[in-house]
Amino acid sequence: MKRLSHLALVALVTVALAAPLHADPPAFPTPESSWSDADWQAFSENLVVGLASDNDGVRASALQLVIEYGDRLDVDEAAFDVARIYRNHANEQMRHLAAVSCVHLGSDWAISYLRMSEPFEKSKRVKHTIRALLAEVDARKGTVETGKLQMIAEEKVR
């Protein structure tokens, strides 16, 4: 009898623990679906502060968020901070992230800055990324034929 009650207890605990594992996780609202204009404005202001931070982790996170949500943000005033990260940072990954962010800022100045600095870029990886980003910007504006994108992609293979 005692053994049977132990087995029943083990079975009950197993079922109780396994049930939540099969349940769907709760649906969290995403910024795209539930944020108001005031929320986006506050988010933009906080990103501007983050991009000007001295903490590399905060700056990297802010750069990633600019890349992800750039089309909904108003962070034009941070263009100089992003360009400064691209130009001066010792870490190539941070410079790469900043170069991509320059395009997602939507700032004509930041894109022009990338266009002017590309010939002087020493890192092959960052230089190739800048070329691809600028070709994509030009293709969106209709100022370059899409064949240039293919040419840049083939250059990477060589």
Secondary-structure percent of the chain, ordered helix, strand, coil, rounded to 5:
80, 0, 20
Residue 29: inside a domain: no
pLDDT for residue 151 is more than 90: no
Count up the domains in the chain and report the number: 1
Residue 12: inside a domain: no
Q: Give the residue, 2 or 63, on which the prediction is more confident.
A: 63
Q: Can you give the pTM of this predicted structure?
A: 0.70
Q: How many Å apart are CA 96 and CA 87, to the nearest integer?
A: 10
| pLDDT tens string 66-98 | 999 988 888 888 999 999 999 999 999 999 999
Instruction: Specify whether the backbone of 43 is left (phi greater than 0), alpha (psi in -120 to 50) or beta.
Output: alpha
Per cent of the chain over pLDDT 70 is: 69
15 contact partners, CB below 8 Å, separation of at least 6: none
Q: How many Å apart are CA 18 and CA 20, to the nearest integer?
A: 6
Range of the domain at 58: 37-157
